[in-house]
């Protein structure tokens, strides 16, 4: 019964993640040329397939070890401000952890630019059934980013807040942890005029980290 509930939760999380990816896809396509549309669609599809593979592995796993204090690795995201990030996670209590990400995302086209971001979030973890090392979490965080460009309309400082939710899995016999999360971000400061100062950005990602 517990395992059934775990799988049911994963199905809901995957459906929600897919919803945010669809909205991210629609918003990213506005004002972008055909060639870049194809590249963005391919990029989002790759992340969605990675998420599907991650959830498949998780649901087939029957046991794992969850105890680790710190971890560092790489997060691949779909956000406007971070496509790739260095991710550091540390547990400050048995259920509570802090995650910090330093990310960037380059853009080409009519307005070449590079986004550099720093985010921090609190995550509260809950066990999924009796599967050791496999947990789901909820929390919230903030993100600070800056868009660097020679085009004034897309250059500027941004700050946002976001709720977050996802799953975290620690391998049993290896010092590695994997997670998937969603971060629908609302910008309270938007220094860029790109897409008319749009204040909502869908964001989802997957992370692989070394634990110590």
Q: In the chain, which ranges are E strands?
A: 70-77, 84-91, 96-107, 113-127, 134-149, 156-170, 176-182, 185-190, 200-201, 204-211
Q: What is the CATH number of domain 2-211?
A: 2.40.160.20
Cα separation, 209 vs 177, in Å, equals 5
DSSP label at residue 154: G
Domain boundaries, the chain: 2-211
pLDDT of residue 152: 73
What does the pLDDT read at residue 7? 47
DSSP reduced 3-state for 11: helix
> CB 170: neighbour CB atoms within 10 A?
22
Strand partners, 149: 113
- CA–CA–CA angle 192, 138, 19 (5° rounding): 60
**Four-CA torsion 107, 112, 116, 121, nearest 10 degrees:** -40
| One pLDDT digit (tens) per residue for the chain, 212 residues | 444 444 444 454 455 455 545 554 544 444 445 555 565 566 556 555 655 555 554 444 433 334 789 999 999 998 777 889 999 999 999 899 999 999 998 888 777 888 899 999 999 999 998 888 899 999 999 999 998 888 777 788 889 999 999 999 999 889 999 999 999 999 888 876 545 456 788 889 999 999 99
């Amino acid at each position: 019964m517990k395992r059934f509930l775990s799988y049911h939760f994963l199905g809901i999380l995957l459906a929600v993640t897919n919803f945010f990816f669809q909205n991210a896809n629609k918003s990213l396509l506005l004002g972008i040329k055909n060639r870049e549309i194809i590249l963005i669609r391919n990029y989002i599809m790759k992340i969605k397939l990675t998420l599907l593979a991650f959830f498949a592995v998780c649901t087939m796993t029957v046991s794992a070890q969850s105890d680790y204090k710190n971890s560092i690795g790489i997060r691949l995201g779909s956000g406007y401000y971070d496509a790739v990030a260095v991710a550091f996670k540390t547990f400050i209590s048995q259920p509570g952890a802090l995650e910090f990400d330093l990310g960037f995302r380059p853009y080409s086209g009519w307005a070449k630019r590079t986004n550099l971001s720093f985010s921090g979030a609190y995550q509260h973890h809950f066990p999924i059934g009796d599967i050791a090392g496999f947990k789901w979490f909820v929390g919230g965080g903030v993100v600070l980013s800056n868009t660097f460009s020679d085009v004034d309309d897309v250059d500027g400082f941004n700050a946002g807040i976001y709720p977050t939710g996802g799953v975290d899995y620690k391998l049993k016999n290896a010092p590695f942890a994997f997670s998937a999360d969603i971060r629908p971000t609302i910008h309270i400061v938007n220094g860029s005029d790109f897409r008319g100062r749009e204040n909502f950005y869908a964001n989802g990602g997957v992370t692989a980290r070394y634990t110590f």
